[in-house]
Amino acid sequence: MQILVVEDHQDTREVLTGLLKRWGHDVSPADSLKSGMDRLDNEPPVEVILSDIALPDGTGYALVSEARRRGKRVLAIALSGYTYPSDVHIAKLTGFDHHLTKPCDSAYLRTILEDRAKWEQTLLAKD
């Protein structure tokens, strides 16, 4: 899958990028809202957005809301230190499909991605 990782913390971004690549995904890393939006517009179609909520020039909420407004059909996963139920609720309201707490449970992330891949294969088989 083509995954956009938007994370301003360099070490976290690099670890996530490396992990996702080892799992066989194509990864496009970004360190801000602006660079994430640029990659949505200018790179191969993104299937998954994995984004931090707090970014230096905006929020992951804004990124996913804008992606949805533009008609992007992506799996959106929030990765955040914001852990209150209200944070999860806001993430869902702004278009995120999942909300993972930092540090991320990599096995759970992998399960989410594998389930999405199976779902996409099922849709393709029906066509």
Cβ neighbours of residue 73 under 8 Å, at least 6 residues apart?
none
In total, how many domains does the chain have?
A: 1
The reported pLDDT for the residue numbered 31 is 98
For 30: left if phi > 0, alpha if psi spans -120 to 50, otherwise beta; the answer is beta
Whole-number Å distance between alpha carbons of 95 and 65: 6
Instruction: Give the domain extent around 94.
Output: 2-126
For residue 21, give both structure tokens.
């690549």
Q: What is the CATH number of the domain that holds 11?
A: 3.40.50.2300
The reported pLDDT for the residue numbered 120 is 75
The reported pLDDT for the residue numbered 92 is 94
Read off the pTM.
0.92
The reported pLDDT for the residue numbered 123 is 65
Residue ranges in the chain assigned as alpha helix (H): 10-22, 33-42, 60-69, 85-93, 106-126
Residue % of the chain over a pLDDT of 70: 96
Q: Which residues pair with 119 in a beta bridge?
A: none
The reported pLDDT for the residue numbered 124 is 67
User: In this predicted model, what pLDDT tens digit does every residue of 12-55 receive, in sequence order?
Assistant: 999 999 999 999 999 999 999 999 999 998 878 899 999 999 99
User: In this predicted model, what pLDDT tens digit does every residue of 99-123 receive, in sequence order?
Assistant: 999 988 999 999 999 999 888 777 6
